[in-house]
Amino acid sequence: MAIATTNPATGETIRTFDELTDEQVQQKLQTAAEAFRGYRTTTYAQRAGWLRRAADLFDAEADELGALATLEVGKTLASSVAEVGKCAKGCRWYADHAERILADVPHDVDGANVFTRYEPLGPVLAIMPWNFPYWQVLRFAAPALMAGNVGLLKHASNVPQVALAIEDVLRRAGFPDGVFQTLLIGSSRIEGIIDDDRVRAVTLTGSEPAGRQVGARAGGNVKTSVLELGGSDAFIVMPSADLDEAVGNAVTSRTLNNGQSCINAKRFIVHEQVAEEFERRLTEAMQALTVGDPTDPDVDMGPLSSPDAVATIDQQVRDTVAAGARLLTGGEPLDGPGAFYPPTVLADIPDGSPGHREELFGPVALLWRARDVDDAIRIANDSTFGLGGSAWTRDPGEQERFVDEVETGMMYINKFTESTPEVPFGGTKNSGYGRELAQFGPLSFVNAKTVWIAGSEQGGGGVE
């Protein structure tokens, strides 16, 4: 697999990189193992200081770093710069909160001092995707580093410069040598790294097939893994919803990151009383979006990540329409250089079609009509995915039912799904297992060691 920066807006390959040799990979693994032995003895105050310095660098260099993401994956420049800023926020949040999250937990046992102590596992392999090339790395790295682990990043092969930039920021922030390293390698070499005894845990954000392979390999090696996989999030609209608000948020959520996010709203399930009006407004709003140069501040959407991404979603749309869906707007790749696909709306999605059973990773809104709240929940749960979802209703009873009965890892009411360091992130069913962010970030890659000191009734141990 080529490791290269190819501008998806023009198709031009800007820079190529040689893969690491086997000898170089082995050296990096050994460096990580040796770095961990020293790094695990650092204090929370030291780690927090380095992480705050990284946040300062992300803020100071947001324009430059954001431009690099736009060049490599085609997201709009404004969204790229905002993503870098989000990394700064995440770094500061964990610098402020990780010590409390990881503090010893006392247990009430007569005649003994008993507590749980959280200890780092060691080198963690992070296999990360291209669509949020900074944030998805930092939402793993910030808590893992605060917990005393060290990181090995296998980033997507189309974002090598972003991968190296992250390593450079953390190095300049003061983290010791070897604590965070980028591995410029192809996907075929991941399994061998998971097999290596020096790697103690694995996290992957990516597709369901990739997750199955990585999870199986990690399990075969009895290693902790966290999988954040695909999603086909439901966006439910009931009669009591504010339609202006619902439509505006529907468009924003579906086209976020040019429609390439695991938590984009993808399946719009609308009560039949308001379905016709919602469908009209949504279609008009999608048609009004401008598609073009992602560096142009007046452009709403840039290209997809690659020509292959365009070919995939184009075939999914064609097959869904051939199965009986109504095409309301879009549906044809745009002419000219670059991997551009227009905002698209499909209605009346047939059972068994790609729109029904697959994740569409691009700006395609899929519309269903629901008879009532029971039907809306049925449609929402008729998916192998279960990452996030949202429901738009002012009825407290409906809100409670959606929270209780929609099968997802996250359910937002009158707000579209997002990730933020303060709250847990992750899914159920084929959307993966484990959680990132909030308290789960640091706790995902630690050994929860039970400590029992007989003959003492002191409450809890100290903190590092």
List residues with catalytic annotation.
228, 262
For residue 440, which of 464, 462, 421 has the smallest C-alpha distance?
Answer: 421
CA distance linking residue 90 with residue 420, whole number of Å: 8
CA distance linking residue 107 with residue 210, whole number of Å: 40
SS (H, E, C) the chain: CCEEEECCCCCCEEEEECCCCHHHHHHHHHHHHHHHHHHCCCCHHHHHHHHHHHHHHHHHCHHHHHHHHHHHHCCCHHHHHHHHHHHHHHHHHHHHHHHHHCCCEEECCCCEEEEEEEEECCEEEEECCCCCCCHHHHHHHHHHHHCCCEEEEECCCCCHHHHHHHHHHHHHHCCCCCCEEECCCCHHHHHHHHHCCCCCEEEEECCHHHHHHHHHHHHHCCCEEEEECCCCEEEEECCCCCHHHHHHHHHHHHHHHHHCCCCCEEEEEEEHHHHHHHHHHHHHHHHCCCECCCCCCCCCECCCCCHHHHHHHHHHHHHHHHCCCEEEECCCCCCCCCCCCCCEEEECCCCCCHHHHCCCCCCEEEEEEECCHHHHHHHHHCCCEECCEEEECCCHHHHHHHHHHCCCCCCEECCCCCCCCCCCECCEECCEECCECCCHHHHCCEEEEEEEEECCCCCCCCCC
The two structure tokens encoding residue 307 = 């020509």
Backbone torsions φ then ψ of 388, nearest 5 degrees: -135, -175
For residue 128, which of 52, 178, 185 has the smallest C-alpha distance?
Answer: 185
Residue pointed to by tokens 């085609």: 74
For residue 120, which of 452, 460, 449, 453 has the smallest C-alpha distance?
Answer: 449
Instruction: Kindly report the number of other CB atoms within 10 A of residue 377's CB atom.
Output: 22
Backbone torsions φ then ψ of 14, nearest 5 degrees: -90, -40
* In contact, 70 and 80? CB cutoff 8 Å: yes
The two structure tokens encoding residue 406 = 């929609």
